Amino acid sequence: MFLTRRALPRRTFLKGAGVTVALPLLDAMVPALKAATASTPRLGFVYVSNGVIQEQWNPAPSKDGATFDLSPILKPLAPVSDYVNILSGLAHLQADTFGDGTGDHPRASAVWLTGVHAYDRTQPGVEVRLATTADQYAARVIGTGTQLPSLELNLDSPTQGACDSGDCFYVNTISWRNETTPNVAESHPRIVFERLFGDGGSAAQRLALARSEGSILDSVVGEVSRLSGTLGNGDRTKLNEYLDSVREIEQRIQNTEARGAQSIELPERPVDVPETFEEHTKLMFDLQTLAFRADSTRVFTLIMARELSSRTYPNIGVPEQHHAVSHHRNDPELIAKKAKIDNYHVQLFTYFLEKLKATPDGDGNLLDHSLIVYGGGMGNGNLHRHTDLPCLLAGKLGGQFQTGRHIDYPQNTPMSNLLLTILDKAGVHMDKIGDSTGPLKPDYLSV
């Protein structure tokens, strides 16, 4: 790698022993990138399960795309509300039962990024298959040339909750490479970190790393020093802030693993994750922010809560299991508890959006140049309805989207139309995905 070039290529890496560290966008790269830098699209899809309390999610209807007041569940979005659109009226009717036996919950997560009905595997001779998901169509176009074409994450372990009709593979991932190949969603921060920054080696080496206070960046300190000498003051500050972020996240992972190493022997794959759901969520969002900042990947999916999740939330006053609470049977106490869960998920998602907004990127910040879709394949969890889905868009995708609006589409507008619209604005041009009937109309989202 030539560090003395006047204009650095965007795909510049620092390399050490078993470590490859991509760099954030620096001013020194802009001449090499020219105008394309500011329009690099990044897409994310965050899934939440078991429906929402729709009356506390939806803002007041506004058919003209006007600004909105945040509903009770969405109030945590206040710091970033000018970057957000709320879409009502969307549906995934392919998640309804066609009399084929597949459960409502697996169909909900299976349809979310495909618009395709989940095939029933409980009948003899029926293959396990679905369809290519929207994130993977995007990865084939905007993910080429990046270290990871896409990144699949999961905050809700497959051991959490059961599976309707035994269809676990439909709820454990929302990303499918093709109709027969689901992508495994990773829940362990250390493995995600290693995919981004280097191989952690054997179990013994990982155990030693967990107990050490060193950093993977120690092996690239020489290259950092040489590179810094070629940069201006602004770029040196950006570089140092970015590397500090890498060190800080690494230390949090080491602390988590060190706690686990005191009580169990590390297996060939690490098993320790942060002790609380909130710590785990924020750490994974921090890793994804780094991945976007370093342009290591431009496409990700994340399951915040799996369908049928049995997770409890005693820290917010909900000791009952999420799935059980979602079947509230119009009990005011259970409705209030489900709304608390929905609100808490939005709080954690807002943490991510604020991180993106605070991270400089080109002529703006990462939230300016990204679009993150937040929602799920079930609207009314109590009745297993796949209509009026929770759907939140965050980010401007390089100026492609107007934001700060609530758009109330006609009931049962296919959510696949939204997927088609998003892909088109990201430069992924398709005639159809799933049951789409065309781009969203009227198009209140475009600038």
**Tens digits of per-residue pLDDT, 15-68?**
444 445 555 666 656 554 444 444 689 999 999 999 999 999 998 765 555 678
CATH architecture, domain 40-187+276-425: 3-Layer(aba) Sandwich (3.40)
Using a cut of 0.75, tell me whether the model's pTM lies above it.
yes
What angle, rounded to 10 degrees, do the helices at 189-197 and 277-293 form? 10
Cβ burial of 409 (10 Å; 0-12, 13-18, 19+) is buried
Q: Which of 343, 264, 356, 443 is nearest to 71 (CA)?
A: 343
Q: Are 408 and 391 in contact (CB under 8 A)?
A: no
Residue located via tokens 């996240």: 249
Helix (H) or strand (E) holding 362, with range, is: none
- Token pair 């820290």 in the structure block, residue: 315
Which of 10-14, 245-249, 360-364 has the largest mean confidence? Answer: 360-364
Q: Are 259 and 113 in contact (CB under 8 A)?
A: no
Task: Find out whether 25 and 37 touch, Cβ atoms under 8 Å.
Answer: yes
Residue 102's pLDDT band (boundaries 50, 70, 90)?
low
Q: What mean pLDDT do residues 183-191 have? A: 88
Q: Is the peptide bond before 442 cis (omega within 30 degrees of 0)?
A: yes
> Are the C-beta atoms of residues 189 and 274 closer than 8 Å to each other?
yes
Cβ atoms of residues 301 and 135 within 8 Å: yes
Overall residue count recorded for the chain in this entry? 447
Query: What are the structure tokens assigned to 429, written together?
Result: 């041009």
pLDDT of residue 421: 97
pLDDT classification of 339: cutoffs 50, 70, 90: very high
pLDDT at 285 over 50: yes
The pLDDT value given to residue 315: 97
Q: Residue 296 — very low, low, confident or very high, per pLDDT cuts 50/70/90?
A: confident
Q: Where are the beta strands (DSSP E) in 227-385?
A: 299-303, 312-313, 318-321, 360-361, 364-365, 370-375
Residue 120 vs residues 94, 99, 107: alpha-carbon distances, Å? 13, 10, 10
Do residues 421 and 433 make contact, with C-beta atoms less than 8 angstroms apart? no
Per-residue confidence (pLDDT) for residue 256, from 0 to 100: 62
CA atoms of 447 and 443, how far apart (whole Å): 9
Q: Tokens 């049995």 sit at which residue?
A: 310
Domain boundaries, the chain: 1-33+203-272, 40-187+276-425
Give the largest Cα separation in the chain, rounded. Answer: 67
Mean pLDDT in residue range 182-201: 80
Q: Tokens standing for 264?
A: 């169990």
pLDDT per residue over 351-380, tens digit each? 999 999 999 988 899 999 999 999 999 999
**Placement of tokens 């049928």 in the chain:** 308
CB-CB contact of 397 with 412 (8 Å): no
What is the pLDDT at residue 58?
92
For the chain, give the percent of residues with pLDDT over 70: 69
Between 261 and 237, the higher pLDDT residue: 237
221 in Cβ contact with 172 (< 8 Å): no
